[in-house]
Amino acid sequence: MSSMVNPQLAQAGKIERFRTRVRINDQPPMLVGDQTDSNPTTYRLFHDPVREQAGLAGQLTHEETVVIDGPNEHAVWFEPVGDDESRVEVRSLAIQHHNRCERLDDMLPTLRSDLTGRECTQEEVPTGRNAQNKAASKLANYVCEMDTENMAISPETVLYPEMVHTVARYPHDAERVAANVAIGIERHVDGGFEAASPEAFREVLLQYGDEKFHRENSE
């Protein structure tokens, strides 16, 4: 567990859920998911759904100790998935903001309108159960047609209530969509976050929107 006055480790305080990538010890970057604890601060980290292996990579924890007569001390460690006893010492930490939330926010009203057959806006998703079921079925069929070999997603994943409601019932923004999908995975998916990833679900929505509305994909 690395600590003391390493200025790189102090950057851990700039991590934002669903809006940043982190690179630990010069390893491939991982996407930051939901915050699972606040004392100390802990985040789930996910492999990039299109660039790396699927699913959960592990958990990153940041503990800051206030020092009265000097710089605060920071302890940062990474626990890889599948090894509850292992802690990787974080010697270097780089944080990068990405635009996956912004890209999805930009297309959500149009995407919801296309999926549900109703006119949706940023503030309103005027759908009933039939329109919501239509959206879920349409999205599940799209997943069936995708190359998901290295993605932690299945057609069944998009049919759970949390996924359907956050896409086709409520006007949630992209960050809230990802958070609700994480709740759905935790409640329903056998194998949890190793089998299904909020980032994979978001990638499905982004690819659907890019294909349907011919948007340029850039991060």
Q: How far apart are CA 136 and CA 133, in angstroms?
A: 5
- Burial (0-12, 13-18, 19+ Cβ within 10 Å), 196: buried
Nearest-5° angle of CA 17, CA 21, CA 22?
Answer: 105
Asked whether residue 17 carries a pLDDT value surpassing 90, the answer given is yes
Query: What is the structure's pLDDT at 184?
Result: 97
- Which pLDDT belongs to residue 219? 61
Percentage, residues of the chain above pLDDT 90: 67
Check whether 98 has a pLDDT greater than 90: yes
Q: What is the pLDDT of residue 147?
A: 81
At residue 216, does pLDDT exceed 60? no
> Taking residues 6-29, what's their average pLDDT?
85
Q: What is the pLDDT of residues 161-202, one digit of tens each?
A: 999 999 999 999 999 999 999 999 999 999 999 999 999 999
pLDDT of res. 213: 85
Mean pLDDT value across the chain: 89
The predicted structure's pLDDT at residue 39: 78
pLDDT, one tens digit per residue, over 40-84 is 899 999 998 877 667 899 999 988 877 788 777 778 899 998 766
Bridge partners for 200 per DSSP: none
Give the predicted TM-score (pTM) of the model: 0.89
Domain boundaries, the chain: 7-97, 100-213
46 within 8 A of 55, measured Cβ to Cβ: yes
pLDDT attached to residue 38? 85
